[in-house]
Amino acid sequence: MRINSLLRFSFYRRIQISFLCFILLPTVVASFLNYSITHKNVKEKIFLSNQTVLTVIAKDISKTVDDMTYASNFFVQDESVRKQLRSFAKMKRIESFSDFETYSQIKDFFGLFDLKTMNPDILMYVSNQAGFIVQSSEIQGSDPENIRQQYETVKTRVNMSKANIMQWLGTVPTQGATSITNSSYLLARVIKSPNDIEPLGTLFISIPDRYFMKAFAQLGTSKLALFDAEGQFIAGNRDVSYASNAAVKNNIRNESPIQYSGWRLISETPDSQVTGEITKTFFITLLLMVPFFLIFFFISVYVAKRLHRPIRKLQAGVKQFGNGNRRIRFEETGKDEISELGRTLNIMLEQINQLIVENEQEQEQKRELELQALYSQIRPHFLMNTLNSIKCNLALDNEMIHSQKINSLMSLLRAYMKFNEPTSLENECKLLFHYVDIMQMRTDIVVKLDVDLPPVLANLEFPKLLLQPLVENVFVHGFKKAVDQPKIHIHAEKQEDWVEIHISDNGLGMSAEQIDQLNADLQSSPDAEAWQSYKRVGLWNVLQRLKMTYGSSSSMRCAKSELGGLTIILGFTEKIDTGGSAC
């Protein structure tokens, strides 16, 4: 009940909501729009700035790749280099002065490349088929043991059949003098002269992590990673994915290709890192608005209550009138619109009271006329003496069966003669046994009548002959064809002040569609004229008498019987005041 009261959209709540919507809502909407626009503009500026820096880094890496391509081409195309490599191809170690000269000459060639690239972090070395290695220079991480481990790791990745082209071998772990494990990206080129059958050697170019880290440092705190043409990670932050990730779609993502290699440089800047301060400022602003909102809210409540107080009085008065307090009247002080409405309502209440009194009188007269019309149809007073004489003569002639039939008929006639007098539910059920006795004689159908009546309902005041039309319907419709062991069962039950009477049979019954249609007709409450042409006018009479006796909440419905036929269910509220006359 409390929840329904809170959710009710009353006039008072409309006033409050109007105050809040026209003042608070525009403020909040404007704040959110300002936050959204600022958020978007900052992200766009960060994106453009990151893209500029990323392009510069990509150009630096592209230049390095171009320099490495130039160095490898020198080994392939220069005849003096190939001459030294032919002497180097079979060398397993330096065993003579000639081997030393070859070794020194190759080292000198590497010196030319160092001047070209001007990058001390990139390591180049050449190996022959025997695994003998000549490296370019002594730099960090270039100790022979480390280079040997690196060579053993990647030599199987080199395709010796692809001579004189650059091969991308991927990353390998490296361990320097500080025992800190890093990684390097390896490129290789198999050197082979057109006149030579066997390769002269393999040139390896190793790009360590520190080279990329120095280049990536230009982008500040953004996450940056480098991927090769197949999407394999080369260097950078492993939290960055090659493909766009839906989980971090709000992050600022920039991409730039690396020329000559098919590599792709990707950066991601977390949204919180870029707009965190903006968001913090926005929520602080909202937090500062809360006290002002509370002050405004209490003021609006006070103003709304003052505006709503006269309306609430009108509402309470109308509710009391609806609950039966016909003497309620409204104050007519003042000259505003609410006072005018109160005066008009007072006039309307006087008119309604007068109409209610007239309607009650009219309904009472109509009720008496309808009751008279119902029980004036049969007045068989003149038959009673004749039937009593016949009964006595049959008894004297020992015709007890026919005498009993006459006795049952007389019981029914007495009930018809005193139709307007109330009876008890127990007597009504006894009268049904007389009626069934007569119907068995008329129809030659032996019917078993069972009555299940709890003691608490035995003395219930009940309209006389109310159940007889329902039992008659069983004979006329339910047993119109032969039925094995025909049976009628009457059961009454009570829950608090609600009473239900079930009249069930094992006759032919009705289909589900017919039952639904009949229930719909009974609930539609058609007028008497519409039912007079209907073949079940008896049902209409029973329902009308039930409503006249127990009120409009009374009901009649049909259902499938557990016995196999049909069940008629009468429901009504037990009358508390039994001093009045029943129908």
Q: What is the DSSP string of 340-378?
A: HHHHHHHHHHHHHHHHHHHHHHHHHHHHHHHHHHHHTS-
Phi and psi torsions of 358, nearest 5° = -65, -40
Please tell me what DSSP assigns to residue 21: I
For 482-524, the pLDDT digits (tens) are 888 899 999 999 998 899 999 999 988 899 899 898 888 888 7
Bridge partner residues of 487 (DSSP): 448
The mean pLDDT of 569-575, rounded to a whole number, is 89
**Cα gap 320→301, rounded to integer Å:** 26
Per-residue confidence (pLDDT) for residue 391, from 0 to 100: 57
Average pLDDT for the chain = 77
Higher pLDDT, 3 or 536: 536
Per-residue confidence (pLDDT) for residue 502, from 0 to 100: 95
pLDDT of 540 above 90:
no
pLDDT of 583 above 50:
no
What are the structure tokens assigned to 373, written together?
Answer: 């019309």
The mean pLDDT of 25-33, rounded to a whole number, is 77
User: What are the angstrom distances between the C-alpha of 544 and each of 374, 412, 419, 479, 517?
Assistant: 10, 21, 15, 26, 19
Per-residue confidence (pLDDT) for residue 354, from 0 to 100: 81
For 192-231, the pLDDT digits (tens) are 877 777 888 888 888 888 888 888 877 766 788 888 888 8
262: left (phi > 0), else alpha (psi -120 to 50), else beta? left
Residue 412 is which amino acid? L
The mean pLDDT of 11-20, rounded to a whole number, is 66
Provide the 10 A C-beta neighbour count for residue 428: 23
CATH number of 418-573: 3.30.565.10
Please tell me what DSSP assigns to residue 120: T
pLDDT of 180 above 60:
no
Query: pTM for the complete prediction?
Result: 0.45
Phi and psi torsions of 511, nearest 5° = -75, 165
Pick the CATH number of 43-269 from 3.30.450.220, 3.30.110.40, 3.40.50.300, 3.40.50.150: 3.30.450.220
Q: Which residue has the tokens 């090659």?
A: 242
Bridge partner residues of 163 (DSSP): 190
**Which of the four pLDDT bands, split at 50, 70 and 90, describes residue 436?**
confident
Radius of gyration of the chain (CA): 54
Q: What percent of the chain has pLDDT over 70?
A: 76
pLDDT of 36 above 90:
no
**Which of the four pLDDT bands, split at 50, 70 and 90, describes residue 6?**
very low
Decide: 567 and 560 in contact? Cβ < 8 Å.
yes
Per-residue confidence (pLDDT) for residue 138, from 0 to 100: 61
Higher pLDDT, 245 or 435: 435
Q: How far apart are the first and last CA of the chain?
A: 40
Provide the 10 A C-beta neighbour count for residue 354: 10
Higher pLDDT, 334 or 63: 63
Per-residue confidence (pLDDT) for residue 139, from 0 to 100: 57
What are the structure tokens assigned to 439, written together?
Answer: 């119907």
Q: Which residue has the tokens 């059949």?
A: 161
pLDDT of 311 above 90:
no
Decide: 174 and 146 in contact? Cβ < 8 Å.
yes
For 237-257, the pLDDT digits (tens) are 888 888 877 556 677 888 888
**Cα gap 330→324, rounded to integer Å:** 16
**Cα gap 493→466, rounded to integer Å:** 17
Least confident of 56-70, 115-129, 530-544: 530-544
What are the structure tokens assigned to 169, written together?
Answer: 């071998």
260: left (phi > 0), else alpha (psi -120 to 50), else beta? left
Per-residue confidence (pLDDT) for residue 420, from 0 to 100: 66
**Cα gap 135→127, rounded to integer Å:** 9
**Which of the four pLDDT bands, split at 50, 70 and 90, describes residue 402?**
low
pLDDT of 2 above 50:
no
**Cα gap 288→560, rounded to integer Å:** 69
Decide: 192 and 202 in contact? Cβ < 8 Å.
no
**Cα gap 129→90, rounded to integer Å:** 7
Provide the 10 A C-beta neighbour count for residue 363: 10
Q: Number of helices (H) and strands (E) in the chain: give both, helices first.
A: 16, 16
Provide the 10 A C-beta neighbour count for residue 169: 20
Q: In what order do the strands lie in the sheet with 252-257?
A: 233-236, 223-227, 264-269, 252-257
- Domain residue spans of the chain: 43-269, 329-374, 418-573
The mean pLDDT of 93-118, rounded to a whole number, is 75
How is the chain split among helix, strand and coil, in percent rounded to 5? 55, 15, 30
Decide: 452 and 489 in contact? Cβ < 8 Å.
yes
Per-residue confidence (pLDDT) for residue 416, from 0 to 100: 65
Element at 415 (helix H, strand E)? helix 400-417
Indicate the Cα dihedral angle 513, 518, 520, 522, nearest 10°.
Answer: -170
Higher pLDDT, 144 or 558: 558
